[in-house]
Structure 1
């Protein structure tokens, strides 16, 4: 198809050595001897399991489960339904079979979301738990980010609420037995409006218990106060009624709090807005109301110093009381066997606190997994180097751009600019396509009206393989869950974190507790198998810990597979803008990755490597046959006169991952 470009240089080589085998376009090894050629066929396929090492190589895969929803087999999904109406998942639903199904995706860490005891409406007063007020609870099942008791766990999740902590400890042990580690949430910026720990160890004080409420701010106050004013419940919008209007003796538009506290997102009003985080109150870390700091600042050189030096810095410093409380909380959970934490809205808390907390954690457990929600790219290096975070969300740059590419709103090459700009910290930037805050890929508002869950396939390949970063998967993503259920407080397109309910596609994989995919449709089964294959490459392939080389395309390197028409900007369609390609490589491993984001058109493509790229990849004049790890088929790269060319065809939304 691209004869005009390459026929003169390559035709003779194609005729004589088309089937010479190399350890891939991209392995950097020597070609196979000519006597082996008769055993090689372009149509051969090879199982991926025969091409990968048997053990993970150190690139984490985090599987996020919304613990309350994961094991629920109830399919009622009544809006604002009670726990009796819609059911709830339990710690015990994570059986060995379920955990092995999670591990099959290359999972190294399970993030059990919603474990700490948070506000909820179900009545557990028989267990000594005070009821929560619907006027300051979002949804009937409550927000997992309005933590009420950091020393206990959500009673909804236990078969016997009186033994809820023991049941979670058993889940920790079961997860470890199945070869994975445990992450839970820590929400340092805010706590529930009615925080009260019933399970705190002897000698511990609750947040706010010793505060001086006569002043707006004091260094050792845990909260900020609106002095002289009582809290008022926000005015509802759009006809909102707590619990969907269902009667509840505490649902009276009032909540006793005097004086009012600042709201979790920083609102200083006694009556916050309905869209404020009114179910929570902001924690004071020694940041004065004028924005100045009431604690020592880290000298600049500490960005380059290690954990022991950070511990030493804080050892003789007086720090705010809230710092001490969260140090004790994280230490408590580490002692229970938890392996790490996901920190909610970490950038709303000063970076010095993170230096203090994370260095204390790492001294106690050096391999603790510390993941932070930070959205400001200008702060990434501070929170990694000063704050000693292991990983940050790569949302604002990478995820947001990848989403725009999936929706046809952005050119694919933007990812290369982002990836190049993060090379010094790329291994710290967590990649994801879904989590509890983001829309489901298959939802109508994301990609459901165009490529649906299938559009997640090329995006997964790029997201999981482009860098040394860990990958996060959200439960149900691998079977195309669309998040379309309207369960009450939560909005469709995101699986609700506020309501009781079931997750239909995920429930089909659960198959009434068998966790064997027995109820999945054929397309859902194939999608999950695809996720398994890609994530095995991410977790097991040595090249995934190597370097990154971007590959770009000119418009005349792409042609319509049906008509042969070159798809350039003159025709109004530039299919080169819908291709993401790169090489991941080490000294002796080479993998070429190409993802095609076009939703309807099949293309023929010429991959061209220049002299500099060939030199970096140690590819000399010859023909190299590589294996696509996703299909087992072979593709040939011909190198002559310091030019490498591979011609291949790609279906809509197809990816290739080529190596031998």
Structure 2
């Protein structure tokens, strides 16, 4: 693994660069505008870099289905019955070998414009991650740019068979696709025909997908016969495997440094083992990040699947959200690392992404300041990467009713829309933050203050030691609201304490003798605690800190970071 801690900035170009401040409900591309590759300028990248970012995850790059095409450029209009929103879902891929034409100033130069963005990002000393969507594709998939040696997905399928190891899709033989009335009534003048019907992306083996299904997508066949005991047919190597390997190589050769693999657990781990091994043989430093939600699969997808990192959503994210909302105790964080069985270093931590509700929304914290101790903890808990989502640092709420998306606390990925708080920082492309409120400037500064600690040796490469077992039942330590832990290397020892309470916490924090021994601190000795935020120092003996603890005060929703020397 890299000795530098990856700090990822998720950026949705369609939203990021959109300067239109007067977007209208369900607006078209011409009405509401769309961000472009070129909007992610050198100035923008330099400002992002100042946060301490090492990687940018550009979301929605590969061409996906959109309603209004570009007929003059050979890109046909899409059928709105099988497209979510006018701008479409970035996870309903229309052509794995092309980029979203909406993001180009000159549609005929769209790939060149994207490659220029990759070059700009690299020149600004950051790496590029894009989505790889392997489980499903758009119902109207058609590649204009695929290599000649490969047929289009499904072109050579025997659609009379529900399952065949040589098919790319699963079929509902002799059945027409029947979209629900709820879907059809949105566009009563439109029709969509599919015969035989194909299985839908969310493992739905029926010809009757509903509005809450991934009805706009088709499930890809990796050789698993789901309707017959999940029997596997991996020899000879399935056609879908070979096609997907070529897709990954295509983008790797364009300078992509990593792939965030959408719904990786819906694709057999045997494929991942094979394809990641194949890609890394040619591009050994390329990253593979898996969107996986089932903790029982973590070990398999790391050791057998060969992934570099996995989402830590149902563990740390869900726990921190509960703590920030006052629904769980801070000491519950200990269960997160304990349940991972030493897999912490492989976990990608975050408090926002495009799937989750914005911190500043009423569905999460309302006040983004409440999340600051969670940000610090997510960054520092272990060696794995940390991610923020564009707009998070300016308190985007995602509460706009944009069209397909409603006021659900998520910035729409389906509509032509904007990021109103981010636009104040963008300031019509100047990226100088002059339109931000004082509260937003303070929030941005708070993120910068936290992220500057990311590359401390003990945070990047150090071991973790949870001291909650010594403090949870300690009368002067509130384990409902405060979490404390150590990170250490041979040359650096850190104490980190996070306060999730709305009030200042006055407490004593013990460091057990076992922790001092683990950190190879000799005894007896005086310990010097230097506050890395204020550069002030406190001295205490080993015996005192193990028996009585160190006296500290932590303001509401804040953290303390001490370097321990002796």
TM-score range, shorter chain: over 0.9
Secondary structure of 1:464's aligned partner? helix
In the alignment, what sits opposite 2:132? 186
User: CA 1:205/1:411 → structure 2, altered by over 3 Å: closer, same or farther?
Assistant: same
Which structure would you say has the larger Rg?
A: 1
In the alignment, what sits opposite 1:566? none
Written as runs of structure 1 = structure 2, the 5 A alignment for 1:162-311 is 162-236=108-182, 241-242=186-187, 252-288=189-225, 289-296=227-234
Match of 2:401 among 458, 461, 486: 486
In the alignment, what sits opposite 1:627? 530
Contact 1:543/1:590 (<8 A) preserved: no
* 1:652 aligns to 2:559 (yes or no): no
Contact 1:604/1:650 (<8 A) preserved: yes
In the alignment, what sits opposite 2:57? 111
In the alignment, what sits opposite 2:414? 498
Structure 1: gaps of 5 or more residues: 1-55, 243-250, 297-316, 560-574
Distance 2:174 2:151 in 1: 25
User: CA 1:148/1:525 → structure 2, altered by over 3 Å: closer, same or farther?
Assistant: same
In the alignment, what sits opposite 1:464? 379
Distance 1:548 1:520 in 2: 37
Please report how far the alpha carbon of residue 555 of structure 1 lies from its aligned counterpart in structure 2 after TM superposition. 5.6
Secondary structure of 1:219's aligned partner? coil
In the alignment, what sits opposite 1:245? none
Please report how far the alpha carbon of residue 635 of structure 1 lies from its aligned counterpart in structure 2 after TM superposition. 4.0
Contact 1:534/1:630 (<8 A) preserved: no
Written as runs of structure 1 = structure 2, the 5 A alignment for 1:27-426 is 57-236=3-182, 241-242=186-187, 252-288=189-225, 289-296=227-234, 318-426=236-344
Distance 1:541 1:191 in 2: 42
Secondary structure of 1:473's aligned partner? strand
Contact 2:4/2:460 (<8 A) preserved: no
Contact 1:225/1:260 (<8 A) preserved: yes
Please report how far the alpha carbon of residue 611 of structure 1 lies from its aligned counterpart in structure 2 after TM superposition. 2.1
Written as runs of structure 1 = structure 2, the 5 A alignment for 1:566-645 is 575-599=478-502, 601-617=503-519, 618=521, 620-640=523-543, 643=547, 645=549
Contact 1:189/1:264 (<8 A) preserved: yes
Please report how far the alpha carbon of residue 189 of structure 1 lies from its aligned counterpart in structure 2 after TM superposition. 0.6
Written as runs of structure 1 = structure 2, the 5 A alignment for 1:12-27 is none
User: CA 1:327/1:168 → structure 2, altered by over 3 Å: closer, same or farther?
Assistant: same
Greater Cα shift, 183-192 or 423-432:
423-432
Please report how far the alpha carbon of residue 415 of structure 1 lies from its aligned counterpart in structure 2 after TM superposition. 1.1
Match of 2:428 among 494, 507, 512: 512
Distance 1:541 1:442 in 2: 32
Q: 1:84-109 CA deviation, whole Å, 9 max, x = no partner?
A: 22111000011111111111222111
User: CA 1:455/1:321 → structure 2, altered by over 3 Å: closer, same or farther?
Assistant: same
Contact 1:186/1:343 (<8 A) preserved: yes
User: CA 1:204/1:377 → structure 2, altered by over 3 Å: closer, same or farther?
Assistant: same
Contact 1:232/1:255 (<8 A) preserved: no
TM-score, structure 1 normalization: 0.82
Distance 1:257 1:235 in 2: 16
Please report how far the alpha carbon of residue 333 of structure 1 lies from its aligned counterpart in structure 2 after TM superposition. 0.6
User: CA 1:636/1:510 → structure 2, altered by over 3 Å: closer, same or farther?
Assistant: farther
Contact 1:224/1:284 (<8 A) preserved: yes
User: CA 1:224/1:63 → structure 2, altered by over 3 Å: closer, same or farther?
Assistant: same
Greater Cα shift, 360-369 or 71-80:
71-80
Secondary structure of 2:114's aligned partner? helix
Contact 2:457/2:489 (<8 A) preserved: no
Distance 2:341 2:120 in 1: 37
Please report how far the alpha carbon of residue 240 of structure 1 lies from its aligned counterpart in structure 2 after TM superposition. 6.8
Contact 1:412/1:577 (<8 A) preserved: yes
TM-score, structure 2 normalization: 0.95
Please report how far the alpha carbon of residue 545 of structure 1 lies from its aligned counterpart in structure 2 after TM superposition. 1.2
Contact 2:382/2:459 (<8 A) preserved: no
Please report how far the alpha carbon of residue 623 of structure 1 lies from its aligned counterpart in structure 2 after TM superposition. 4.2
Structure with the bigger RCO (C-alpha within 8 Å, sep 6+) is 1
Distance 1:411 1:216 in 2: 49
- The CA RMSD measured in Å over matched residues stands at 1.8
Greater Cα shift, 271-280 or 612-621:
612-621
User: CA 1:428/1:240 → structure 2, altered by over 3 Å: closer, same or farther?
Assistant: farther
Distance 1:528 1:217 in 2: 52
Runs of 4+ residues over 4 Å off in structure 1: none
Structure 2: gaps of 5 or more residues: none
Greater Cα shift, 204-213 or 529-538:
529-538
Please report how far the alpha carbon of residue 631 of structure 1 lies from its aligned counterpart in structure 2 after TM superposition. 3.7
Distance 1:540 1:96 in 2: 27
Secondary structure of 2:320's aligned partner? helix
Contact 1:614/1:644 (<8 A) preserved: no
Distance 1:81 1:386 in 2: 45
Contact 1:638/1:644 (<8 A) preserved: no
In the alignment, what sits opposite 1:455? 370
Q: 1:389-421 CA deviation, whole Å, 9 max, x = no partner?
A: 111101111111111111111111111122133
Contact 2:509/2:550 (<8 A) preserved: yes
Secondary structure of 1:195's aligned partner? coil
Please report how far the alpha carbon of residue 576 of structure 1 lies from its aligned counterpart in structure 2 after TM superposition. 2.3
Greater Cα shift, 100-109 or 221-230:
100-109
Contact 2:223/2:232 (<8 A) preserved: yes
